[in-house]
């Protein structure tokens, strides 16, 4: 009896593992802080979550919206000597979506043409629906 259950148990555990692997965790990182360290930590974690299989959406608003500008450079942070902007670009290159909140452009004096490649103005209806998705984690900085 034990021998006949072993293949069944292995098949069941493989089915459960593949089911869990098929479900991608969705995460929204909402960043408003002007602090370079807060911006850097948010982007470090966004990149780490991507490396661990999550689909990451980044929403930049208020002072953090400035990271989305083509002219953005940012403060170099230790220990890896990178800027939050470089970390944002890395996340986008790995498949993260990035947007500025709907209030950023009209209230900052910037236009969509001023945004870095891969960053778009958020549409409130779309962002609201995304934030309500079952199982989505939302992290604010």
Residue 14 placed within a domain: no
What are the phi and psi torsion angles at 134 (to 5°)?
-60, 135
Residue 110 placed within a domain: yes
State residue 23's pLDDT score: 83
- The candidate with the shortest Cα–Cα distance to 59, out of 107, 36, 90, 27, is 27
Residue 36 placed within a domain: yes
| Burial of 136 (C-beta count, 10 Å sphere; 0-12/13-18/19+) | middle
Residue 103 placed within a domain: yes
What are the phi and psi torsion angles at 81 (to 5°)?
55, 50
Per-residue pLDDT tens, the chain, 141 aa: give them: 455 544 444 444 444 443 444 589 999 999 999 999 999 999 999 999 999 999 999 999 999 999 999 999 999 999 999 999 999 999 999 999 999 999 999 999 999 999 999 999 999 999 999 999 999 999 999
The model's pTM: 0.84
CATH number, position 50: 3.40.1260.10
Number of domains in the chain: 1
Residue 68 placed within a domain: yes
State which residues form the domain around 42: 24-140
What are the phi and psi torsion angles at 27 (to 5°)?
-135, 135
């Amino acid at each position: 009896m034990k021998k006949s259950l072993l293949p069944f148990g292995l098949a069941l555990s493989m089915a459960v593992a593949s089911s869990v692997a098929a479900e991608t965790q969705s995460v929204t990182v909402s960043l408003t802080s002007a602090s370079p360290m807060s911006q850097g930590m948010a982007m470090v974690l966004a990149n780490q979550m991507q490396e661990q299989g999550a689909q990451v959406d980044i929403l930049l608003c208020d002072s953090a919206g400035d990271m989305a500008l083509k002219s953005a450079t940012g403060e170099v942070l230790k220990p890896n000597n990178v800027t939050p902007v470089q970390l944002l670009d890395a996340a986008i290159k790995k498949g993260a979506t990035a947007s500025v909140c709907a209030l950023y452009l009209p209230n900052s004096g910037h236009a969509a043409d001023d945004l870095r490649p891969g960053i778009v103005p958020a549409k409130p209806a779309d962002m609201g629906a995304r934030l309500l998705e079952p199982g989505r984690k939302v992290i604010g900085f």
